[in-house]
Amino acid sequence: MTTELDGIPEERQEIAFDVKAEMKETQRALRETTLMIEQSQGEVSKLTQRNAAITAHLQQVQNQIGDTPAEEIRMAYDSALDAQQRLFVMRGQLEKLQNDKAHYERYKIALENLQNGGPRSSSSSPQSSGAGKGSLASVEMLINAQEAERQRLSRQMHDGPAQALSNFILQTEIAMRLLDVDPTQARDELGNLKVSAMGTFQKVRNFIFELRPMMLDDLGLIPTIRRYADTFKEQTSLDVNVTISGNERRLESYLAVMVFRAIQELLGNAARHSQATLLKINVDLTDDLVRVSVDDNGKGFDIDSVQEQSLGLKLIRERTEMLGGTFEVDSAAGKGTRVMFSLPAKKQ
């Protein structure tokens, strides 16, 4: 009995079996994640309505604060805070699920490309073998890039919110011990705890925004780029200018994600390595293309060596070319860097 893998080298057969198993697991995870997103969206909708009602009640209490008992005021504020926290957590969970779904969808496409260009091909010619190797390299590069980003966020979470939460526990214990001994100092400790909590809350929101900004789904690419540039400027103290030209419009979801992630990666590279003080983002939307360029006035680099070593640049180039676009880097020592790419983007 013959099979479609007969005549194919054993090593490539093993890859084919691994890819098939990985595809099956990815499809299962994608189905489960899609179902969880639907459930979470329903919960977010309910919490949003509840939050709006509680906020309206709180506004009413504030307008009649002189005639409202202190206990009712406290309960109104507690309810509003609880509703906001629940909504924030649920939105964060929904964003994570949406990010997971996008990851599974991209991974599924990469696996399909690997299947079509690799061991399942009817020809075992050198060209076919080369296609399989190229697809496998694409999958490896995608996985490595995702793991590098997860490691970066893991370090940031450990050094930021995780450490802050440990400090919260210590501050809370101190305040509890001081309540009976020195209420004034206990109040000061609680005030410091509130300030620390607000700062940590903002850091967590920034992490969630980096993972998957809800604005990208709600408002589209251009407002998200502008918001991200403002946030990036605050966090790094770099001057970031955004210029939008052409017919501003919403893009297909996969294109919006691709462009946003590319800009995010390029800004991060510039902040970490270029020693730049000024970054310029240009987005031009024509009837059938989206053109993007990111310029910095940093120290520049040798293009051949850096492109070979930079996983982020490799991944942007790979994704751009897979979508039928173009990618170009212009840089030299002491002359800054410009990264440009364009993607087909017909009007919907």
What is the mean predicted confidence (pLDDT) over 56-63? 76
Here the tokens at position 304 are: 């051949």
Q: What is the mean pLDDT of residues 186-211?
A: 73
- Determine which of 170-174, 244-248, 278-282 has the lowest per-residue pLDDT on average: 170-174
State the Cα–Cα distance between residues 83 and 54, nearest whole angstrom: 8
| Beta-bridge mates of residue 278 | 239
Residue 161 has pLDDT above 70, yes or no: no
341 phi/psi in degrees, rounded to 5: -150, 155
Residue 337 pLDDT exceeds 80:
yes
Mean pLDDT of all residues belonging to the chain: 76
Give the number of other Cβ atoms within 10 Å of residue 109's Cβ: 14
- In this predicted structure, the answer to whether residue 14 has a pLDDT above a threshold of 70 is no
Average pLDDT, integer, range 313-342: 89
- Token pair 């690997």 in the structure block, residue: 114
Q: What is the pLDDT of residue 209?
A: 58
Report how far residue 287's alpha carbon sits from residue 126's, in angstroms, rounded to the nearest whole number.
Answer: 39
- Does residue 215 surpass a pLDDT of 80? no
Out of 108-112, 117-121, 177-181, 233-237, least confident range: 117-121
Mean pLDDT comparison of 66-75, 208-217, 339-348, highest-scoring range: 339-348
Q: In which residue are the tokens 């919110």 written?
A: 161
For 272, residues 6+ apart whose C-beta sits below 8 A from its C-beta are none
Q: Is the dihedral of CA 311, 314, 320, 326 positive or negative?
A: positive
Check residue 101 and give its pLDDT: 83
- List the end-to-end C-alpha distance of the chain, in Å, as a whole number: 50
Strands 337-344, 239-246: pairing is unpaired
Residue-wise pLDDT for 225-268, tens only, equals 998 899 889 888 899 999 999 988 888 887 888 899 899 889 98
pLDDT attached to residue 140: 53
Q: Is the model more confident about 82 or about 118?
A: 82
Are 47 and 87 in contact, with CB atoms under 8 Å apart? yes
- Outline where DSSP puts E strands in 208-319: 239-246, 278-285, 289-296
In contact, 314 and 307? CB cutoff 8 Å: yes
pTM exceeds cut of 0.75: no
Amino acid letter, residue 336:
G
More confident residue, 225 or 87: 225
Where are any strands of DSSP class E within the chain?
239-246, 278-285, 289-296, 326-331, 337-344
What is the average pLDDT across 190-206? 75
177 has a pLDDT exceeding 50:
yes
Name 206's Cβ contacts closer than 8 Å, sequence gap at least 6: 231, 235
Query: What span, in angstroms and rounded, lies between the C-alpha atoms of 263 and 339?
Result: 10
How high is the pLDDT of residue 148? Answer: 57
* Range in 95-104, 202-211, 229-238, 246-255 with the lowest mean pLDDT: 202-211
Q: Strand (E) positions, 93-182?
A: none
Residue of higher predicted confidence among 43 and 156: 43
- Do 257 and 316 form a contact (C-beta atoms < 8 A)? no
**Which of 4-18, 115-129, 191-205, 208-222 is predicted with the least confidence, judged by mean pLDDT?**
115-129
Percent of the chain with pLDDT over 70: 73
d(CA 181, CA 174): 11
pLDDT, residue 130, reads 46
Amino acid 127: pLDDT: 42
- Positive or negative, the CA dihedral 314, 319, 324, 330 is negative
Q: How far apart are CA 116 and CA 124, in angstroms?
A: 12
